[in-house]
Amino acid sequence: MSPTIMMVGVGQMGRSALSILTRALPAAKFILVDRSDESLRRGEAVAPDRIRTHQTDIACDGLDAAGMDLVVNFAGPFFLGSDGAARAAIAAGAAYIDVGDDAEGTKTILELDNAAKSKGVPVITGGGLSPGVSNWLACSLLESHPELDGIKIVWITREPDPGGLAVLRHMLHMAVAPCPTWRNGKMEFTKGFVPETAESFDVPPPFNRIEAYDTAHPEPVTLGRFRPDLALVQCKGSLFPNWANAAFSTLGRIGFGHSEITVEVDGKEVHPIEVLWKLLWKRHELKPSAQRISATQVNVIGTKENVPVVMKSITDAGDMSRGTGLGMAAAALSLLEGGVPAGANGVEAIPYQKGLDHFLRLAAEAGTFADGIVTTNF
């Protein structure tokens, strides 16, 4: 297989997927697009003989995807609702997938359904770990347990560093964005990361017993669209240790979660979140290496009349970007193999067994998610 793949956004998560895909597709060529010269140089270093770079801000300059087989979009934050990369892929007749993890951006991409169908191309939003692998696990549970009428997704992460700026924007945005829940044929909305939505769960190690909160992830949007007969689709999230949930919720609500707010500092307009991001990174750099412990887990619980029946879990001793890169790479390989229907959909449009097989194989090759998929019956 010798496809040409355009990757938009090559920050930490983009480079994670890029490294995996260059190994999995030794004949593939890659075009990297980013507004950061540093990100492009780091991306190009992954496989210099097969990578070309293009420095541009697609929000201002647009995107030309002519000649591409696949466009992979990591350029967040996705809550801003940009569909420029997806429209460029459709216009070029290329398949498309993004790592969108905000409900607002998901709806923007799903509105391109007719345009994608008219061009005969699959447009997939919400690849990665959660959303992404979480959706495939949900589809697996629903097929193997037809008695289920609900799905609860619970993601947990312990991050030693604040990641990229787009990741921090996403985390703080979840504290102020409405959280969707698909319930009895309609969408309901709650506040994110607040005590009134707290629910406790017993999950596999290393987390064991955690408290999770409603979060503005898009799984209820796409799974509710895919299986409107379900009585419940809900996504909850938890940061570890637990005090981090209250901290991020507070920071988001006092202003850092509002991307439109700027303040003047020494005559310059700045986004407050940029100051917070630099502070968090400085604090991380001063932290002893022994305290930089990562862990990521996604639990997908199948319910019947709101009672847990069965749970599938995946766990990695690494940060969310590693798992997200693996999930996106698995989805990209699935798209390149074909068999995914034309139109704009969530990752559920990729046959779940194909997606999970790629994910588990890539994870094993990388020495991650060592326990595979763990099933717990209640």
Confidence of residue 1 (pLDDT cuts 50, 70, 90): low
- CB of 104 closer than 8 Å to CB of 81: yes
* CATH 3.30.360.10 intervals, the chain: 130-319
Q: What is the DSSP string of 300-330?
A: EEEEETTEEEEEEEEEESS-HHHHHHHHHHH
Supply the pLDDT for residue 320.
84
Confidence of residue 74 (pLDDT cuts 50, 70, 90): very high
CA distance 293 to 289: 8
What are the E-state strand segments in the chain? 4-8, 29-34, 51-55, 70-73, 95-98, 122-125, 150-158, 179-183, 186-190, 199-202, 209-214, 232-239, 263-265, 268-270, 295-304, 307-316, 343-346, 374-377
CA distance 35 to 166: 13
DSSP code of 184?
T
Q: Find, among 143, 106, 300, 80, the residue nearest to 221 by Cα.
A: 106
Confidence of residue 142 (pLDDT cuts 50, 70, 90): very high
Amino acid identity, position 155: W
Q: Find, among 300, 205, 68, 149, the residue nearest to 86 by Cα.
A: 68
- CB of 98 closer than 8 Å to CB of 122: no
As a whole number, the mean pLDDT across the chain is 91
DSSP code of 152?
E
CA distance 359 to 331: 8
b/e 49-58 (16+ beta carbons within 10 angstroms → b) = ebbebeeeeb
Q: What pLDDT, in 10s, does the model give residues 268-281?
A: 888 888 887 787 77
Looking at domain 4-129+321-367, its CATH architecture is 3-Layer(aba) Sandwich (3.40)
Cβ neighbours, 10 Å, residue 305: 10
What's the whole-number mean pLDDT along residues 162-180?
A: 77
Greater pLDDT, 139 or 82: 139
Query: Quick check: 167 pLDDT over 90?
Result: no
- pLDDT > 70: percent of the chain: 96
Query: Quick check: 228 pLDDT over 90?
Result: yes
Q: Worst-scoring range by mean pLDDT, 121-135, 157-171, 255-269, 293-307?
A: 157-171
* CATH 3.40.50.720 intervals, the chain: 4-129+321-367
Q: What pLDDT, in 10s, does the model give residues 84-112?
A: 999 999 999 999 999 998 888 899 999 99
Q: Worst-scoring range by mean pLDDT, 20-29, 218-227, 238-247, 295-304?
A: 238-247
Amino acid identity, position 41: R
Confidence of residue 78 (pLDDT cuts 50, 70, 90): low
CATH 3.30.360.10 fits 130-319, yes or no: yes
What's the whole-number mean pLDDT along residues 73-85?
A: 77
**Backbone φ/ψ region at 223: left (φ over 0), alpha (ψ -120 to 50), beta:** alpha
Greater pLDDT, 75 or 33: 33
**Backbone φ/ψ region at 76: left (φ over 0), alpha (ψ -120 to 50), beta:** beta
Confidence of residue 155 (pLDDT cuts 50, 70, 90): very high
What's the whole-number mean pLDDT along residues 186-214?
A: 94
What's the whole-number mean pLDDT along residues 201-223?
A: 95
CA distance 220 to 102: 11
What's the whole-number mean pLDDT along residues 296-310?
A: 97
- pLDDT > 90: percent of the chain: 71
Gyration radius from the chain CA atoms? 20
Q: Is the dihedral of CA 28, 36, 159, 347 positive or negative?
A: negative
The residue behind tokens 């191309």 is 121
Strands 199-202 and 295-304 come out as unpaired
Q: What is the DSSP string of 10-38?
A: -SHHHHHHHHHHHHH-TT-EEEEEES-HH
CA 206 to chain centre: 22
The residue behind tokens 């938890």 is 238
Strands 209-214 and 199-202 come out as antiparallel
Greater pLDDT, 282 or 219: 219
What's the whole-number mean pLDDT along residues 165-189?
A: 85
Supply the pLDDT for residue 254.
78
Query: Quick check: 81 pLDDT over 70?
Result: no
The residue behind tokens 């002519």 is 66
Confidence of residue 297 (pLDDT cuts 50, 70, 90): very high
CA distance 194 to 134: 23
Query: Quick check: 79 pLDDT over 80?
Result: no
